[in-house]
Amino acid sequence: MSKLTINSTLRMNSGYEIPMLGYGVYQTPANICEHVVTKAFEAGYRHVDSAAVYRNEEPSAVAIKRSSIPRSQIFFTSKVPPRGLSYASAAAQVDASLKLTGLEYIDLMLLHAPYGGREARKGAWKALVEAQEAGKIRSIGVSNYGVQHLNEMEVYIKELETERGGEGKGGKIDVGQWEIHPWLPRRDIVEWCEKRGVVVQAYCPIVRGRRMDDPVLQPLVKKHGKTGAQVLIRWSLQKGFVPLPKSVTPSRIVENADVYDFELDAEDMKTLDINAYDPCAWDPTVAGLEE
């Protein structure tokens, strides 16, 4: 990978670029969301990760529109809620998010979780494909899908190609989003995505602050003179992921973006190569196909 900077991007299957460092607004109250997103922009972020269920799409968009940064340089993500998933609900959510935000397009729309059964997932995906074709959203993807759900997607993408009349008519997965950090590396999912050019986003990249005193992490903190959060975000970037650190504290928003003046060497990366399964958030990837 070329030298990482705060302006580093990855090209998605859609052809669009996604900024590698994102700013997450999960659980950010709507009444402070515009302020903290603005602070993130000031710190150099150009990527905001929201969702319908976060109830802060609107203030996130207000910050985007009031910023002096051109809209084309800001990447905005939202997500279709996981409950009541269907073709109709996904199509309606795209329109609702566009109306609520007042944005001309949404850069990325994800299916938030793989619940509802096969027909619900296929229908919701079809709605995203149609919205992408209509220019309402530029890139599409999934969140919290296990390998079993991803393999299923490949089948119904082929089905949609047949049903909708040709190659490419089933859509392509541009992005997948999961909780990923050294204590939850999700190697099977990452390998699946890498083989298909799917960009991997990592939420909870700093493990909600729960590992800052971990004996694996502490020597790297001392070696590089960085915080545990900065080391973990740097790890994510060097793995080729798109980390989505979240904070409402202005100093930490700045700190989490200050990760480009050091590099983890091969030995550091090996130290953080932990084969564990220790999620700090929910994990729909383990759900069965009928859930």
User: Using one digit for the tens of pLDDT, what is the confidence trace for 6-38?
Assistant: 999 999 999 999 999 999 999 999 999 999 999
User: pLDDT class for 1, splitting at 50, 70, 90?
Assistant: low
Tell me what pLDDT residue 175 has.
98
**DSSP calls for the chain:** -PPP-TT-EEE-TTS-EEESS-EE-TT--HHHHHHHHHHHHHHT--EEE--GGGT-HHHHHHHHHHSSS-GGG-EEEEEE-STT-SHHHHHHHHHHHHHHH--S-EEEEEE----S-HHHHHHHHHHHHHHHHTTSEEEEEEES--HHHHHHHHHHHHHHHHHHTSTTTT----EEEEE-BTTB--HHHHHHHHHHTPEEEEESTTGGGTTTT-TTTHHHHHHHT--HHHHHHHHHHHTT-EEE---S-HHHHHHHH--SS----HHHHHHT-------SS--GGG--TT-
Catalytic residue among 23, 45, 54, 156: 54
Nearest to 207 by CA among 249, 245, 257: 245
| Contacts with 275 (C-beta within 8 Å, 6 or more apart), sequence order | 185, 187
Amino acid letter, 69: I
Share of the chain above pLDDT 90, in %: 98
87 carries an active-site annotation: no
Tell me what pLDDT residue 166 has.
87
pLDDT tens profile 119-145 = 999 999 999 999 999 999 999 999 999
pLDDT tens profile 271-281 = 999 989 999 99
| Contacts with 159 (C-beta within 8 Å, 6 or more apart), sequence order | 122, 170
pLDDT tens profile 64-82 = 999 999 999 999 999 999 9
